[in-house]
Amino acid sequence: MAASPFPAYVSTRGSSPDVDFVGALLAGVAPDGGLYVPALWPDLRETPAPSGGAAGMANAILAPFIGDALEAGAVGRAAARLKDQFFHPETTPLVELEPDLFVLELFHGPTAAFKDYAMQMVAVLAKAALAGLGERLLLVTATSGDTGAAAVRAFGGMDRIDLVVLHPLGRVSPVQRLQMTTTGAANVLNLAVRGDFDDCQRLVKGLLAHRALTAGRRVSSVNSINWARLAGQIPYYIGAAGALGSAASKATYVVPTGNFGDAFAGWAARRMGLPMGGLVAATNENDALVRALETGFYERAHAVPTTSVSMDVQAPSNFERLVFEASGRDSALTRGLFEDFARHGRMTLPAELLAALRREVSAVSVSEAETAEEIARTYGETGRVICPHTAVALHAARRLDRSAGPVVALSTAHPAKFPEAVEAALGFVPERPPQLDGLEGRTEVFETVDPTLAAVLAAIG
């Protein structure tokens, strides 16, 4: 029998071989269709006290997830990007808006959205993994805007990696499109698909399963189904707790949620031993998760477009990881439920599992009107301009009882990425941060394709 990798990752569906961190990073999804989770959760009490600010902390938190799967030094180089590539000395500052109401600013990275934080590190880790193997990797990703921008910026110009990004033609904001199409990176192919985001996701699935494309080459995706993306989001929760000091053990984190990746990273931080008062997933009007926790019935609906576009998700992919954990790691149950869901677009959560899920996390939905009201209220009371995703979290945060402990709303994008929504709420366009300056002057490179696998394959060549 082959020795088990350490630290090992197991599939939520229980019928894939265990892999190490590199295996999970380069595969994305497990061969049985499940998602990778650590076989054993690292214990924060056994993590050496970090030094060296945000980068030192990320290094200390991530090292036990990686072990010796990568050469010594790779994690440190990855974490150093939280200093080199970020535009704020604290990387993710915690700002108090009123007594016991905080926002955790996660948008000071190169594309001004929270996805930079993990993506910047994952790019360095992937490059190190491929160098160790002597291989190349083709990454394909569908985006409604932020993931693509963060991926292009993190992987652009990176050795051993080719990146293909599919966005729906005319349906991402101009700022988001320019961030993807103007980097000039030779290893990035931007495809504008004549269709919607669901078409892009369907095409990516088709590419990942295409035999001729995947024969003899590694093909993966950088969406938050990839374990490395999630692991990379755990450190900022621990940093926020450090900034809160003694009140941290009672803090509730409110996370603007689409695919439940960011919220699952918060769950993981608690599972590793970070004390907290609560974890709340705040969705926009795409509220499948909220209804599942209310009724036990989880159903794929049609995604409705909202101003918090990066959360317009109809079936949050990381819900599977939460179900696996809340069921006591019952992979047979998890497999049954999610295979059913894939086939029929719905599932019924057994009563015991539903009760367990409700103990782990709560979920609330915020309407479009409430989102706009929150942008206006926060500006009126504090002079701060927030993005619609942050507004969803902050509105949900205000509904909580703060006498139980501080409430932290995660702030996931700079408002200047969503000028239309901010202008509609406030009557003016937000000022741009330096990392969004000068985009309009640059040459755009992208190809427009029909929403067919044949057209996308031809473009990839």
Ligand X SMILES: *Cc1c(COP(=O)(O)O)cnc(C)c1O
In the complex, which residues of this chain contact ligand X (CB under 6 A)?
Answer: 113-115, 146, 224, 256-263, 310-311, 389, 412-413
Residue 45 gets which letter from DSSP?
G
Choose among 116, 114, 135: nearest CA to 27: 135
- Give the nearer residue to ligand X in terms of CB position, either 54 or 386: 386
CA diameter of the chain: 66
From start to end of 61-100, where are the E strands? Answer: 94-98
Q: Is 115 an annotated catalytic residue? A: yes
Choose between 8 and 112: whose C-beta lies nearer to ligand X: 112
97 close to 378: Cβ distance less than 8 angstroms: yes
> With respect to ligand X, which residue has the nearer C-beta, 11 or 310?
310
Minimum gap (Å) between residue 389 Cβ and ligand X: 4
> In this structure, are strands 346-348 and 297-299 parallel, antiparallel, or unpaired?
antiparallel
Between 173 and 348, CB nearer to ligand X:
173
Query: In terms of Cα–Cα distance, which of 319, 360, 344, 223 is closest to 12?
Result: 319
DSSP state, 90?
T
Contacts of 40 (CB under 8 A, 6+ apart): 7, 8
Task: Using alpha carbons, list the distances in angstroms from residue 8 to 16, 66, 261.
Answer: 12, 9, 20
| Least gap, CB of 210 to ligand X (angstroms) | 25
DSSP-assigned letters across all residues of 369-390? HHHHHHHHHHHHHH-----HHH
CB closer to ligand X, 100 vs 146: 146
Assign residue 132 a region: left if phi > 0, alpha if psi is -120 to 50, beta otherwise? alpha
What does the block give as tokens for 221?
A: 């995706």
Q: Which is nearer to ligand X, 165 or 263 (CB)?
A: 263
* Number of other residues whose CB lies within 10 A of the CB of residue 195: 18
* Selected catalytic residue, list 83, 115, 205, 250: 115
Q: What φ, ψ does residue 80 adopt, rounded to 5°?
A: -60, -25
State the Cα–Cα distance between residues 356 and 271, nearest whole angstrom: 14
* Nearest-approach distance from CB 372 to ligand X, in angstroms: 16
Residue facing ligand X at closest CB distance: 261
**Sign of the CA dihedral 62, 66, 67, 68?**
negative
Query: 269 near 403, Cβ under 8 Å?
Result: no
Q: How far is the CB of 32 from ligand X (least distance, A)?
A: 23
- As measured in angstroms, the least distance from the Cβ of 107 to ligand X is 8
Q: Output the smallest distance, CB 233 to ligand X, in A.
A: 8
Q: Which amino acids are annotated catalytic? A: 115
